[in-house]
Amino acid sequence: MSPITESFVPVSKDSDFPIQNIPFGVFSTSDKPEPRVGTAIGDQVLDLSEVAKAGLLDNIEGLNEPSKIFSESSLNTFMSLGRPVWKKTRLAIQDILSKDSTKLKDNAELVQKALIPLTSVKMHLPAKIGDYTDFYCSRDHATNVGIMFRGKDNALQPNWLHIPVGYHGRASSVVVSGTDIHRPAGQKLPSKDAKAPIFGPSARLDIELEVGWFVGTGNTLGDRIDIKDAQDHIFGLVLVNDWSARDIQAWEYVPLGPFLGKSFGTTISPWIVTLDALEPFLINGPDQSSPEPLKYLEEKKPSAYDIELQVQIKPSESSKFETVTVSNLKHMYWSITQQLAHHTVNGCNLRPGDMGATGTISGPEKGSYGSLLEITWSGRDKITFEDGVERLFLQDGDQVKITGQAHGQDYNIGFGECSGKILPCKYA
């Protein structure tokens, strides 16, 4: 069967959401405020709860009571059903939206109810996130930060090339794109040579360009997920901005790692793009021959993704967004499947809706660095925008927008926006 490449719903060439994508998200509307599951097609949202109620998603093996599942306020139940069900459901939705199918196209009443302009919906978190783990898997980023704080000879810690380093983040402060973020306050050193901290608003508020992955089917406590099976346990990917207060982080992170410098907010894009949609963009990852990873981390197949990522900032004084970095997910040293396999190798159980994130994604050149810490080299080099506005770190009123696309032949697979605005500290 040939892949479906054209929808009866108009889709522009630069759209994030052609029929080849079919991401999953949770949305609501003003006339129907109950959150439910949908997919994006062009500039429209297809309400999967309405499609399911009409019987168009019946007879998918393993998908029982689709109208109930897609009327829920999160994707957790659907995530738990496993990759064969996700795949069959995605194919069924593509068939419904196909320009050659009459199932939906010729049902004017259902089209009216089920197709809603993206501009008319409110997006919600796509899942109830039980746990969130943030990794530190870009070699270029880890090297840059290491050089800044330890010098070139000790840039990477001894364990870095052997394990995908991670820490447990704060699931409760993961928010959907468009949510404002208040500048955090905390303990920080007033100067480089100071011995005692002060309390106050962060003066070094930063972005982190990341990609997140959602667990679909998890594992039982005590069991682990083999790396060869890891892709089947990942439901899909989102864009992530893991906001970071560098001055708070610098004072607190020894000896146990980040805490208040990270836990005040993590923004994600609302649409989860499935690994099936991204499969055409799988490529071989970076060389890991020196040293070779331990056997449980050995990749036997392509595991990196060629997804271009962009960060734009609109300073509070400026009238438009400007690009400050263009990077790519392919720059990650440790793949998302290595991250998942490592996470479970000790028997730690992951559950549907749990989220992992890659850590800051930086490429080898300054124009591909994924944080202001690197772009300004720890506050040494100012960013100058076209209108003359300068920045070292984020100021109140600044807006940040992350986008990403995998570029196919005559189509793109995108994620929508991961955006947020900085509001003043409440406790200045």
By annotation, the residues acting in catalysis are: 141
Q: Could you tell me which of 82, 126, 166 has the C-alpha nearest to residue 357?
A: 166
249 is in an annotated binding site: yes
Is 150 annotated to bind a ligand? Reply is yes
**d(Cα 156, Cα 139) in Å, to the nearest integer?**
8
262 annotated to a ligand binding site: yes
> Can you state the percent helix, strand and coil of the chain, rounding each to 5?
25, 30, 50
The two three-digit tokens of residue 106, written as one number: 């010729």
Check the annotation: does 132 bind a ligand: no
274 assigned ligand-binding residue: no
- Has 360 been labeled as part of a binding site? yes
What single DSSP character describes residue 228?
Answer: G
210 among annotated binding-site residues: yes
CB neighbours (10 Å) of residue 312? 18
CA distance 427 to 1: 60
Contact in structure between 362 and 370 (CB atoms under 8 Å): yes
75 close to 236: Cβ distance less than 8 angstroms: no
Distance CA 388, CA 58 (A): 58
Return the SS3 of 423: strand
**Residues of the binding site for Mg(2+):** 242, 262, 266
Annotated binding site for Ca(2+): 134, 208, 210, 242
- Which residues sit in the known binding site? 134, 136, 150, 208, 210, 242, 249, 253, 262, 266, 360
